[in-house]
Amino acid sequence: MVLRKSLFFAAVASLYSGGRAVDNGLAVTPQMGWDNWNSFGCAVSETLLLNTAQLIVDYGLKDLGYHYVILDDCWSAGRDASNNNSLIADPTKFPNGMKAVADAVHALGLGFGMYSSAGKYTCGGYAGSQGFETVDANTFASWGVDYLKYDNCYNQGQAGNQLISYTRQVVSDYSMMQANHARYATMANALNETGRPILYSLCNWGEDYPWNWGSTIANSWRITGDVYDSWDEPDARCPCDGPDAWNCGLPGFHCSVTNIMNKASFVVSKAQPGAWNDLDMLEVGNGAMSDAEYVAHFSLWAAVKSPLILGNDIRVITPADLALLSNPAVIAVNQDPSGSSAARKWLYATNGTDAYGGASIQLWSGNLKSTTGGDQNDVVVVLINGNNDTTVMNATLADIFVDNGPAGTAAQVKMSWEVRDLWANRMSDAEAQAIITASSAAGNATTGYNATRVGAGRYNATKTSYAEGLANNDPLLLGKVSTTVQPSGTIIATVDPHGAAMFRLRALPTGKKDEL
């Protein structure tokens, strides 16, 4: 009996430790790319993907790090019973087959991503991968897939606690081991066993606390229900927005930016290089929020190290949105080699209601990798204004460095800091329009887009990684010096309604005078 139990526990350990996607060498920094779902839903096609991929190159987004072109739901035509029940690409939407799409995306120097669900069906009602994990992983690998978004719809009740989400059911005896299969872990194993590096992105909406177990099998995991193009609109379909938001039994959907921001505040410490909290795709460019709201949305996603996955129709992008998404100083925070997520240091109500149910202001800050050659890390600071009016906000060094010592006792509070505005050098709308015009003038719907490459003056992470650029103190990544804050001092910023101010702080040598 002792031997039998030993074998049982060894088998369980083997099941749980296998397929560590975090060890697949991918997503060392949060993944970046584009997904069609937010703008197009099920209206997918080969033409849409390839035209978008070309524009990602033409607009310089590829060279800023947006690498994956991800095809979401509604792409299949079921399974082929004569071919090991392999998935079939819809021949109307993808007349040349999925491998041809992957090859074309790869030819542009981009990665190709696809979608399935850890359920009987996908969320759109198409064939899911539950029970077909090995078959589907091999199919994806044979097509040249580089990324899998793996959803949670129609999971046949295989959820309700962390162990059930991780495995299909609790194993009670060694003799049952062969009859039980992992749900999310099985796909991790199947992907790894193909021998092809495939980034594994879990999309179980934060159900059953994936931040506690996702890092053992995946490169990222969604922490909330689906994002909606709204700053703070309450929606009963996306519950939980208070002090217990992390413990949300029904993640829902139609989640506003502030709802997701609040939920993220509880779990930022769970991320690490190779494994990231995913706050869902970006809504920048979809038109329902103001420019200031999109700035705050992008800033916060970058600071907490969420994957930066575009969700807009790039074919009709506005100059302002292209400029926003092209800010290398903000992207460099997201791609910082330290992999450290910013955390919320305070949140205050500003309209007489509780801080969660009404307007609020908040401070987020976190360490970045040192780029000054010293032993003191740079620091990112994000001030978010939830008010409906422009607000003068401030953050003391004691607040920013509270994790290093309470009540202003941290050594960093006694230092002077250079304050660099990370939005000050945002590309002008005129420059962004010139890029769009050059690309649009070079092709049409039949020949595709063949615009000239983006010219000098923009950061190119293809040639020089963000890690190298930061190590070299590339000014494009460091923002514009706006002021210096003295020991025990305060950073002050005027912030637009529903907007954000974002700064990189750099330690100054002891004794350096304020020259501003």
* Active site members: 151, 226
Q: Are 379 and 365 in contact (CB under 8 A)?
A: yes
Tokens of residue 409, six digits: 């006792």
| Ramachandran angles phi, psi of 224, nearest 5° | -145, 175
Enter the DSSP assignment of 268. Answer: G
| Strand partners for 151 | 117
| Strand partners for 507 | 417
If residue 468 lies in a helix (H) or strand (E), which one and from where to where? helix 466-471
Nearest partner of 496 among 299, 279, 347, judged by Cα: 299
| Distance in angstroms (rounded) separating the CA atoms of residues 413 and 405 | 9
Tally of CB atoms within 10 A around 157: 10
If residue 277 lies in a helix (H) or strand (E), which one and from where to where? strand 276-278
Left, alpha or beta for 339 (phi > 0: left; psi -120 to 50: alpha)?
Answer: left
Enumerate residues 6+ apart whose C-beta is below 8 A from 447: none
For residue 153, how many C-alpha atoms fall within 13 Å in the half-sphere facing its CB? 17
Enumerate residues 6+ apart whose C-beta is below 8 A from 464: 472, 474
With 0-12 CB in 10 A as exposed, 13-18 as middle and 19+ as buried, what is 108? Answer: middle
Enumerate residues 6+ apart whose C-beta is below 8 A from 434: none
Q: SS in 3 state form for 322-357?
A: HHHHCCHHHHHHHCCCCCCCCEEEEEEECCCCCCCC
Single-letter code of the amino acid located at 71:
L
Enter the DSSP assignment of 74. Answer: S
| Distance in angstroms (rounded) separating the CA atoms of residues 391 and 387 | 7
Q: Are 89 and 75 in contact (CB under 8 A)?
A: yes
| Strand partners for 34 | 69, 310
199: Cα separation from own chain's centroid: 13
If residue 494 lies in a helix (H) or strand (E), which one and from where to where? strand 490-495
| Distance in angstroms (rounded) separating the CA atoms of residues 479 and 504 | 7
Nearest partner of 393 among 406, 407, 383, judged by Cα: 383
